[in-house]
Amino acid sequence: MRPRAPLPPSSRQVPAENPSGAGNPQWPRRLAALADRLGKDLGPADREAMRGEAWLLLNSSLSNYLQRHAARYGHAPREELEDIAAEKALDLLRRIESGTWDLSGRLVGEIHRFLSQVARNGLIDYFRRAGREVPADGDGRPAWEEESRGGLEITDPGSAVSAPDARVERHEFVRTLSECSRRLQLRSRRAWFFRVFYGMSTREIAAHPDIGLNPGHVDVILQRARETIRECMRSRGFDTHEMPPGTFVALWQALGEAAGPLEQGR
């Protein structure tokens, strides 16, 4: 993965309107910083890296807003939401580079509201194209206000684990699986991880910039990785069919560490 292009200190940061308050996300600031740089003269490698990062941030945040709006305004197929997010993200990126969308001096809340509105409008346009009735605004509360609560009831995470021995067993499983996966070379481990935890297709894995293989080769790698991990886990008395909570986080963390400091930011 291309290292993240460093950003020089800029006086045109997005001000934090409530630094000690709730909901102090970093991604709008990062987006604003990227936008500031993309509006300037950049080398091709830096521009490519920053452009890619900005597009990922835009797409991810728009996707979140789209899902929230869809929950309130009406269901839309996942593929349509993906298309809307991709299209809107591209449009916003073009506007950033052309200077027609200037994020300098914008408050974090302004960026939230704007992106939420873009997502909402995209969803409503989709409903209209699909000939569906556009519902009235739900409870009148903007979607972005819900994010500060996380949208979930607060529960003691300890309650997710039923008994001490179950916790120990889960911990052992996760530790063993992490060790077994380290037997794979990094690229193979990554391909296996993409398939198991993200459900990515062979084509997607092959095309991923951190893999870069043809699909046939990916299938071979996946087959071997499955066998290696299955045999390793069996030899330690574990079955890989059920993965307890905590497995994903442990392997995701380990994969990031194995990739090196340049990818720690992933």
Partner 1 sequence: MHRDADIDRRSSLPGEHLSDHQILDLVHGLLDQEVRARAVNHAAVCPACEVRLQEQAGWRERLRARHRLCTSPRGEIVIRSIPVSDEAPTGPRPSAADLWNRVRDWWRSAAGLRGDFGLGLATAAAVVVLLLAVPLQNSSVEEAPSWMPVPHGELRFRNGDGISADPNLQHGLEAYGRRDLRNAIYYLRRAQTAGGLETVRRIYLGSALYRVGDYESAIALLQTVDLETLPDPWGRVARLTLHAALRDAGRTAAADSMGTILSREPDQGAGARADPALIRISHRAEDLHGRRAIPPGG
Which one among 59, 116, 181, 188 touches partner 1, defined by CB under 8 A? 59
**Of 212 and 231, which CB lies nearer to partner 1 in the complex structure?**
212
Give whole-number Cα distances, 181 to 64, 185, 190, 223, 249, in Å: 31, 9, 9, 14, 14
Considering the rule CB under 8 A, would residue 42 count as an interface residue with partner 1?
A: no
Considering the rule CB under 8 A, would residue 20 count as an interface residue with partner 1?
A: yes
**Of 60 and 185, which CB lies nearer to partner 1 in the complex structure?**
60
DSSP type of residue 260: -
Considering the rule CB under 8 A, would residue 260 count as an interface residue with partner 1?
A: no
Which one among 35, 36, 63, 232 touches partner 1, defined by CB under 8 A? 63
Considering the rule CB under 8 A, would residue 10 count as an interface residue with partner 1?
A: no
- Residues 195 and 181 sit within 8 Å (Cβ to Cβ): no
Give whole-number Cα distances, 133 to 30, 41, 73, 126, in Å: 37, 46, 10, 11
Q: CA nearest 98: which of 43, 154, 38?
A: 38
State in Å, rounded, how far the first CA of the chain is from the last one.
10
**Of 192 and 194, which CB lies nearer to partner 1 in the complex structure?**
194
| Continuous H helices in the chain | 27-38, 44-73, 78-98, 108-129, 144-147, 164-181, 186-198, 202-207, 215-235, 247-259
Residues in region 148-207 near partner 1 by CB under 8 A: 148-152, 154-158, 160-161, 194, 197-205, 207
**Of 74 and 244, which CB lies nearer to partner 1 in the complex structure?**
244
Considering the rule CB under 8 A, would residue 23 count as an interface residue with partner 1?
A: yes
Considering the rule CB under 8 A, would residue 87 count as an interface residue with partner 1?
A: yes
The position carrying tokens 């509360």 is 141
Which one among 86, 107, 124, 259 touches partner 1, defined by CB under 8 A? 86
Which one among 128, 249, 258, 260 touches partner 1, defined by CB under 8 A? 249
Considering the rule CB under 8 A, would residue 223 count as an interface residue with partner 1?
A: no
Smallest distance, Å, CB 63 to partner 1?
Answer: 6
Considering the rule CB under 8 A, would residue 51 count as an interface residue with partner 1?
A: yes
Q: How far apart are CA 57 and CA 79, in angstroms?
A: 19
Considering the rule CB under 8 A, would residue 120 count as an interface residue with partner 1?
A: no
